[in-house]
Structure formats: structure tokens, C-alpha cells
Structure 1
Amino acid sequence: MNHEVISLNANKEPYSIGEAAKLIGSTVKTIRYYDEIELLQPSNHTEGGHRLYTTQDLWQLELITTLRYLNFSIPDIRKLMSGELAVAQALDLQIEALETQIGTMNSMLSVLQQARQHEEETSLRSEQSLTYISSLVESLTANASRRKQFVAAKVDESHLLDNIPQEWRVSFLHFFDKYMMKDTKLTAQQTLAWKEIQELINDPAYWADLARLEVPFFIMANQPQVEADVWVKKMEAIRIRTTEALDKRWAIDSPAVQSMVWDFVLMYASAEHAEAPEVFFRKQARYMLDSVTDRILRFNKLCKVMNPEWSQIVDGINLLQEGMRLRLKQMEED
């Protein structure tokens, strides 16, 4: 969209939805959709209920159109426009996403080029050629069984879970096993993500980060207040609550969000902490926030590629962390 065009016509506002669509080079259907999902709603309506857009609305619509052209997701655009996500951070995330797509395309291109070369050098029948392509893809991907074997071996090598009871080892891996070890064939993009996950898991520094991050879990597992399976059910309940909060866009300072933040942190408390829960919350929440490293964040991003359902877990964790920061700040001010 041309800023000069809007400037010249600013004295003619408000604009109908048709005029707005024409000015920004979009469609009425698209602009109506942005209104319906509350991404951008018109500033005014006619007495008959028709949408009317101001020049400022058009600037916002142009921004959305530009970001969509650059493949930004609706949730990220929403965060950008609300100020929840900094521009620099959004650009970094999108650059990374596009680099992943480029890597994926290069991987697929390599398979196709190898298959084409093989086709030229041999006189195989069609079904044999297709079998060759399938074998090439299979050599790059890893089924669920192979992924499980790899992760199990690395967990054993790390000795991360050596000092906790067996039932709690299963609890520790519950979400990973449930969402990441599904017996489905990986796409080219997921194969690329799995390759990087393997590189991370092969890095001793990652295991050191994970060991530090999970200290509260290890302490709790060796002094449990509930059975391991009950703890998993409570964690699943927290996941469901955070998903609902995200879907309904509840504020960080809302009673519902703050309640789940409190419940989540206190899940790691022992009986001796019951007499001073706020003291425990301060200490535990600060530790949880300070223990997140770039490697941990990268691992979660890769898991989101492997299974979009993991996004619910990561987004839920982010919500809880934001809630912790707010509560800690309020505690300091009191």
C-alpha cells in the first residue's frame, strides 16, 4: 500500500470496507476476517452496521498485509500490534522460521536431484524408481521406534535420572513421550528439526542445562507428597487450564491465570513449605525463571516443529512464566 495515497485521501475518511480493501490491495473478505477474529476492528460503523475505517485503521491494515506477505502468523501479528512482542524479536523469529523452510526445501531438493540422477543412469521400471525414492527418504527420516531408542540411550548416558525412583522417571518423560514419540512418518521439515534435536541431545552442555532446570523436579520426586501418576494428572490439568487461558486470552493478572501460576509452583513444595508458601513461591519461581537457557528454548522450538501440539505446552509454559514474573514483582512492591 502507498502511504502517500492514504495521506492525500485522509480528508475523505472514513472509508467503507470496499474502499479500504482497494487502497491496501487486499479483499473485503480478508478485512472482514480480521474484524471477526478481532485482529483489527473498524473504528466506526454506519447506522446500518456497515464497517467504516479511519486513516489510522488503514495504516494498521497495511501493516498486517505486509506482515502476512512476510509469512508472519496471525498470533505473532497480534502480539506485535499489542506490543507484547518486540519488533526485533519478531524479526529474529521469522528469519529463523524462513531459514528452517529453506533448509527443508534444500533437503527435499537433494532427494529429488538424487532420484533424477539415478533415473538417468539406470533403466528401472517406474515402480522400482519410486521404491528408490522411498528408500532415499527413509534413510533421512527416523521412525518413532528409532527416535525412542536414541533418546533412551542418551538419557542413560547422561545419568540425569539415575537418582530418582523408576516411576518418577516415567513421569519426567511423560509429555515428551506423549507428544514427541508418536509413530508417524516425519515430513522433510520435521526431519530437519529432528536432526538438530539430535545435535542438541549429543551436547553435554544441553544436559547440564536440563539438569539445572529440573532440580526442583528431582527434589520433589525424592520427597513426593503424591504418587507419580497423580502428579502427572495434575500437570495435565495445568496444561488444560493454560490452554483455556490462551484460547480465551485471559490477562496475566487475572485471578484465573494467577491461580494456576500459584498451583503450578506449589506443586513442587514439600510438607515443610506449607507453613510459608509465599516464601517458597518466591524462591521457586525465581529459580524456574533463571534456569531457562538458550539451549532449552531452542529445544522447545524444535519440538514445536516436530509436533504442533507441543506448541500448547510451550505457550502454556510461557504464560506461567509471565505470570510468575508479575507475581514476583507484586510481591516485591508489597
Structure 2
Amino acid sequence: MQQQTTYSIGEAAKMIGSTVKTIRYYDEIALLQPSQYTEGGHRLYTLQDLWRLELITTLRYLNFGIPDIRKLMSGELGMSQALDLQIEALESQVHTLHSMLSILHQAKQYEAESALSTEQSLGYVSSLVESMNASATRRKQFVSAKLEQSRLLENIPQEWRVSFLHFFDKYIMKDTKLSAKQDVAWKEIQALLNDPVYLADLARLELPFFTMANHPQVQANTWVKKMEAIHIRAIEALEKHWPEDSPAVQSIVWDFVMMYGSSEQSSNQTDFFRNQSRYMLDSVTERILRFNKLCSILNPEWAQLVECIELLQRGMRWRLQQLDRPQ
């Protein structure tokens, strides 16, 4: 039997035009680990490994993020969807650059037409950016006004309205100045919140929350604490790369879904889980996904929240498959 050709990490780095440090990093985060090791514990890469490393290098050149590369290589994310996501990300960058260019051109024109000192010119640039930037207070005022106009929350108790906005307030309403890229994302979020179709999507998605809030098993602040605990558990599952069918992830999935049940609804827990999970999965629309993408630009912590939700959704799908199997 012919022995498979292998390459050291240094040889692999040279062959794909990368660095030893980068390839070692891919191993450490379990993005791509070597197929073999020497008796002394040194990494050895096969031709198949080299092909996958070359693919990762290409995707990184195209500005794909590590999470998307991981999903793409595992088959969780299709190539067409991955390309759409990256095109969308690059288009967002283009809009950001246009916004920045607009500011710079305006500043240059003003500077040319005015006899200003360097300090005065810089002051004008600063004021121009400030006028285009949405402060946390202005963002809160906008969201509050839109929710009031939409009447989305009018039928739930006040304390549950705060719970509904908990994660949004925690991650998106932070009192930080937006970058040009974040400002572009915020403008698109405003457009979505002005879109009746998006608001209808949101109302459908959150119907389980509204139903639960009117027949709660716990107080609103307790519900938030439980949801935060589920978030922490999901983060741990992601960090440890636990699969959706693992007992730990399935426990999180079950607890998450049952958070939305009243005592009457939860009497037959299996049926409730089945119906609730299907509803949650079927209610996710392109506009909902886009909103989450934009929020992830405003705060990377929201991206982690979305990853947690995606893990739970995969767990729901797996459990539903088991429940729907013929006995």
C-alpha cells in the first residue's frame, strides 16, 4: 500500500502562499486541523488538507469571515447563499465608502471656499460627521416612535415591553458613536422599521412572545434572566463546537422553546415543542435575516446572539426530525 504524501506546516504554508502562524491559528480554532501528526507531535498536512487550506485562503482574500467559512466547509451554508451574503457585505462597504467620500468632498469644498485654519477645518469635518451620526438618544427616540406608530406592543403589559426590547437595548442602543459603516447600517435599519412588510414579518415572528406575555408563567424580569442564561449556555456550546444533536444543545433548545409556553399550552410538552418550533422556524423571513445582519454591523455582539439563535434553530430542526420519524 502506497504511503500518502504529507507536508510539514512550513511546507504547507509555502505551497499555499500563507504563513505558519496563520495555519496554526486555523488549527487552534478547529477550522482546519492536520490529518496526521509525527511521533513528536508535529503537524502533517495531506494534499486534501492543502486544497482546503487553499480554499480558506481564497475565501479570506474575498473577505469571508471565519464563521461563514466554517459553515461553508461543513456544508451548513450553501455556496450560492455564501456568495449572496458576501456580495451583500461588500455592497454595504461600497455604501459606506460613498458616505465617507460625500463627507470628505463636502469638507474639501467648504475648506476651499473658506479661509479657515487647519483647526477650523478639522472642526468643520467633525461637525459634519456629527450631524450625520445618530446618537444613542436619537436612535432610541426613533425606535420608540416607530413602535408606538406600529402599535406592535400595545396589547402587552408595560413590563413585558421592556423585556421584548431587552437584547436590542443592550446591544444596539449602546451610547457609542457610530462609524461610517455603522451609520449606513443604521439608516437601512430605519428604512426597515418604516417598512410595513417588515413590521408584519416582525409581528408574526414575535407572536409567541406576545401570547406568552399575556399569559406568563413567570415575571417579566425573571423571564429575561432565564433568557440571558440560555444565551450564556448557547455561547458555551458554540465555543466548544457542540453539535445540534448533542445532549447539551438539545437541553438548551428544549428550555428555549418551552420559555414561550403557558401552563395550559405546556400540558402536552411534546406537542407544544413540535408546534412552537415549526412556527418559529417558518416565521423567519429575508427581512428578518437582513435586520439581524444590520444589527451585527452596529454591534458584533449581536452577531454572536444571531449565531446562538442559529444553533438553536438547527437543534429544533434535528429534534423535529426525530419526533416526525415513524415509530
Q: TM exceeds 0.5?
A: yes
Q: Deviations along 1:145-177, whole A, 9 cap, x unmatched? A: 000000000000001111111111111111111
Deviation of the 1:12 alpha carbon: 9.1
> Are the equivalent residues in 1 in contact too, given 2:135–2:177 (CA < 8 A)?
yes
Aligned twin of 2:117: 125
Distance in 1 (alpha carbons) for counterparts of 2:220 and 2:29: 41
SS class of match (1:160): coil
Counterpart among 10, 13, 25 of residue 21 in structure 1: 13
In structure 2, how many angstroms separate the alpha carbons of the residues matched to 1:144 and 1:279?
42
**Distance of 1:249 and 1:22 partners within structure 2:** 29
Partner of 1:114: 106
Aligned to 2:233: 241
- Other-structure match for 1:103: 95
For 1:195, give the aligned amino acid. Answer: K
Q: Does 1:258 align with 2:250?
A: yes
Corresponding residue of 1:305:
297
1:289 matched residue in structure 2: 281
Call closer, same or farther: CA 1:162–1:59 in 2, change over 3 Å: same
Pick the aligned partner of 1:55 from 25, 47, 64: 47
Q: How far did 1:112 drift?
A: 1.0
- Supply the distance in 1 between the matched residues of 2:33 and 2:267 (Cα, whole angstroms): 49
- Residue 267 of structure 1 corresponds to 259
CA contact 2:234–2:308 (8 Å) conserved in 1: yes
AA aligned to 1:324 is M
Deviation beyond 6 Å, 4+ runs, structure 1? none
Counterpart of 1:6 in structure 2 is none
What is residue 29 of structure 2 aligned with on the other side?
Answer: 37
Written as runs of structure 1 = structure 2, the 5 A alignment for 1:126-141 is: 126-141=118-133
Unaligned runs of 5+ in 1: 1-10
1:73 pairs with 2:65: yes
Structure 2 residue 212 is matched with structure 1 residue 223: no
C-alpha separation between the residues in 2 aligned to 1:319 and 1:54?
A: 31
Deviations 1:169-208 (CA, angstroms, capped at 9, x unpaired)? 1111111111111110000000000000000001111111
Q: Residues of 2 paired with 1:51 and 1:124: CA distance?
A: 61
Separation (CA, whole Å) in 1 of partners of 2:309 and 2:42: 41
Contact 2:139 2:173 in 1 (8 A): yes
Query: In structure 2, what is the equivalent of residue 7 of structure 1?
Result: none
Matches of 2:9 and 2:217 in 1, distance apart?
A: 59
Cα 1:136–1:15, aligned 2, differ >3 Å: closer, same or farther? same
Residue 300 of structure 2 aligns to a residue whose secondary structure is: coil
Range with greater deviation from structure 2 (33-42 or 174-183): 33-42
Q: Percent identity?
A: 72
Letter in 2 for 1:246: L
RMSD over aligned CA atoms reads: 1.4
Aligned partner of 1:55: which letter? L
Q: Indicate how the Cα distance of structure 1 residues 274 and 58 shifts in structure 2: closer, same or farther if over 3 A, else same.
A: closer
Match of 2:141 in 1: 149
Distance in 2 (alpha carbons) for counterparts of 1:265 and 1:49: 44
Query: C-alpha distance in 2, partners of 1:218/1:108?
Result: 41
Q: TM-score, normalised by structure 2?
A: 0.95
Shift of 1:261: 0.8
- Specify the alignment match of 1:3 in structure 2: none
Q: Which moved more, 1:108-117 or 1:145-154?
A: 108-117
For the residues of structure 1 that align with 2:182 and 2:188, how far apart are their CA atoms? 10
SS of the residue aligned with 1:15?
A: strand
2: CA distance between counterparts of 1:49 and 1:274? 52
| Deviation string, structure 1 residues 34-85 (Cα, Å, up to 9, x no partner) | 2222222222223333322222221111111111111111222122211121
SS of residue paired to 1:271: coil
Preserved contact between residue 146 and residue 194 of structure 2 (Cα < 8 Å): yes
Distance (Å, rounded) in 1 between the aligned partners of 2:157 and 2:38:
67
1:115 counterpart SS class: helix
Q: 1:87 aligns with which of 70, 79, 91?
A: 79
Structure 1 counterpart of 2:238, which letter?
L
5 Å-filtered alignment, 1:186-197, equals 186-197=178-189
- The answer as to 2:195 corresponding to 1:203 is yes
3-state secondary structure, aligned to 2:168 = helix
Match of 1:278 among 254, 270, 273: 270
What displacement does 1:219 show? 1.1
3-state SS, counterpart of residue 309 of structure 1: helix
Q: In structure 2, what residue type is equivalent to 1:137?
A: V
